[in-house]
Chains A and B, each alone.
Chain A
Amino acid sequence: MSESETPLAALRAAVREHRMPDPPLRRALLESDDTALARQAGKALKQLTVDGDQPRQVEVALLATCTIGSYEPLLRAQLVGAGFLPTLRAADYGTFGMALATGRLAPEGDPQLVSLLMDAGYFLPGDWHAGDPDALEKHVEARLDEFRAQLAACLEHTAATVVVHTVPLPAQVRDGVISLGARARVGRMWYRVNAALLGLAEEHAQVVAVDLVGELAEAAVPARDARLHRYGDMPHTDGALLLLARLVRRVAQAQLGLSRKVLALDLDNTLWGGVLGEVGAQGVQLGGLYPGNCYLELQRTVHRLREQGVILVLASKNDADAVERALTDHPDMVLRPDAFSARVVNWSAKAGNLRQASEALSLSTESFVFMDDSDFERGQVGDELPEVAVVSAAGDPAHLVDALLRQGWFDVMELTDTDRKRPELYRKRAQRGDFSAGFGSSEEFLRALELSVEIAPANEFTIGRIAQLAARTNQFNLTGIRYDEATTRRMSEDPGHLVLSVSVTDRFGDEGIVGALWVERRPDVWRVLNMVLSCRVLSRGVENAAIGWLAGQAREAGATAVEGRYVRSPKNSVAASFWTDAGFAPVGSPDGDSAESAPTDFTVAPATAAAVTPEWIALNKRSGFSDE
């Protein structure tokens, strides 16, 4: 039955068996444009609970200026498709202004995301005098100001990220104005409304603005349903709501650490047209007229992704020397050999090659996107590594760029310096893999790395990166609490708290900020609320250096104990013995396996923990507080 069962039947089976739908089914859910299916899927998934290891949870409040209608199931289907176990709370009809102004978004507590659903009717007057365009403009401006004020009030009461969107103007409003000049003026006024909505993201760190109008311009769906608008105050079509659900799902992915970091690319008929082994480097299609211009545009797009921190991997079945020559010598090549942080060019199966690249880069295949024109290769990777997001490069090469970007796999909340340097860091990191093969013991290797660690209080320049680490780090994440940018900023300014960044340099280069600690600082006890460390510096003792440094500071401040906590998650077993390894003793509940996900607390005297800094790590002089 499973072979022929419909996606909907497969989803219902997953709900019945209390498990997440498997990756291929989730991918289908993400990519399908079938609104009827998405609507039913979202409805069926409302009952979803998961036994055992819990997927990433997300709580979203929905506030609308109209009837929310099918937006709730459509968004749920998208969020489950992305791997979340979502809880959606839709506000009652007609409570938009009230909920915003009071900040009471959900009675159950503060959600992580708030998705606003707005329609043109919110800004427009019910009727207006066609002879007085100024009055119309004034009304719209006043509504916009009102919304702005309500949103600002709301942000005072919530730590949630609020997603606003641009709103399409119904053609019937434009066309009702018959003078062409006045009609252009109405259009201009409306663009100003949308520009102001997009501008809210710059005014408030907690606001994300997405461009629904831009999406609608390229999607083959009508924006409005006049019938349901009049009948049930449902102005948007399901097609438009699905586009919005996708945009909001991409925000959730970026905010809660599900962005992809690695793009693995095939060569023949993906990055250039033709087969290198048959036509030679001079014969491949790249640049010039169609179809060469399509491949050139893809290379430019990929290069821009790299400039924004996406790590490139070359995964090609080819002769390695020929590939090296083509990448180096072809005059129109944008992606030269150095653009790739890892290259796996051979004749072996691509799933194995991706696994190998993932090991060389120390990045899980869960953060991989793989693009290939061959159905066979995509199928093989999809079967063996279902966690990899597979993008098809088959079909007309004119669609290559859209195919790569459409799902927003790489979206991030904000780019940091570390992001921009990442591809280069990882290229060195892959070289470092070779370097480690030549040493007798790991300690010998670590000494030769010349590791230097700098620990510093968070500041304006580092808060963005610290919040990003909190969102993205899954493995070495002691308590799983993901402090966002606003909370981190508040804590860093509060004398009772301490937020620290951990930076690492070694002989191969500057890794930048790779870890962070959030600490509650009381006179007697310093308590680590959470600590995260990027997986690329694990097993080098950096975590011990950080806690050793913190204990030293606590001792100097006269504290008598440092406390910490570990909360098990499906992915953080790597940090399970961190506290005991650093000399901390468990307190409270007996250390047993009776309650698996119950937090365990640990404590130690500062003097004991101060000694755990490994001797191969130099603490940078700049570590510590300035005396200003």
Chain B
Amino acid sequence: MSEPDSVEETVTGIIADVLGTDPADIEKDTALAALGWDSMNSIEALVRLEATFAVDLDLRSFHAAHTVEQMAALVEKLRAGASRHA
């Protein structure tokens, strides 16, 4: 499978879709709370991120991530860990 997008771009796409906003309106350091982020949105995003990247996110660190940049870092860290163990 080719992967044209960076993790950050894919995360932005998913979050924009969940929030129903334009990806262009979300900078990597925009605080998601400012965009109407709530617990239902966050679970929707969690399920999508986990399905897209085939990872299991830790809920505590996921909820500690407030920006796209932080979420992408979380995903990348897990993926690096997974491939090391594979």
Binding site for B on A (CB under 8 A): 35-36, 39-40, 69-70, 227-228, 231-232, 234, 238
Contact = CB atoms under 8 A, between A and B. Distances in A.
Interface stretch (B5-13, B25-33, B43-51, B75-83): B43-51
A69 B51 contact: no
A232 B43 contact: yes
Size category, B interface:
under 10
A40 B51 CA distance: 12
Interface of B: 17, 39, 43-44, 47-48, 51-52, 59
Contacts of A39: 44, 47
A41 to B, nearest CB: 13
B33 to A, nearest CB: 18
Contacts of B47: 36, 39, 70, 238
Nearest to A227: B59
| Majority DSSP secondary structure for residues of B touching A | helix
Contacts of B43: 69, 228, 231-232, 234
A36 B48 contact: yes
Contacts of B51: 35-36
Contacts of B44: 39, 70
Nearest to B50: A36
Contacts of A36: 47-48, 51-52
A234 B17 CA distance: 22
Nearest 8 A/B pairs, CB to CB:
A36-B51, A231-B59, A227-B59, A232-B43, A36-B48, A232-B39, A228-B43, A238-B47
B40 to A, nearest CB: 8
Contacts of A69: 43
B57 to A, nearest CB: 9
A544 B51 CA distance: 60
Contacts of B17: 40
A130 B48 CA distance: 39
Contacts of B59: 227, 231
Nearest to B43: A232
A94 to B, nearest CB: 15
A35 B44 CA distance: 12
A316 to B, nearest CB: 42
A228 B59 CA distance: 9
A238 B50 CA distance: 13
A238 B52 CA distance: 15
A97 B17 CA distance: 34
Contacts of A35: 51
B62 to A, nearest CB: 10
A295 to B, nearest CB: 38
Contacts of A40: 17, 48
A483 to B, nearest CB: 39
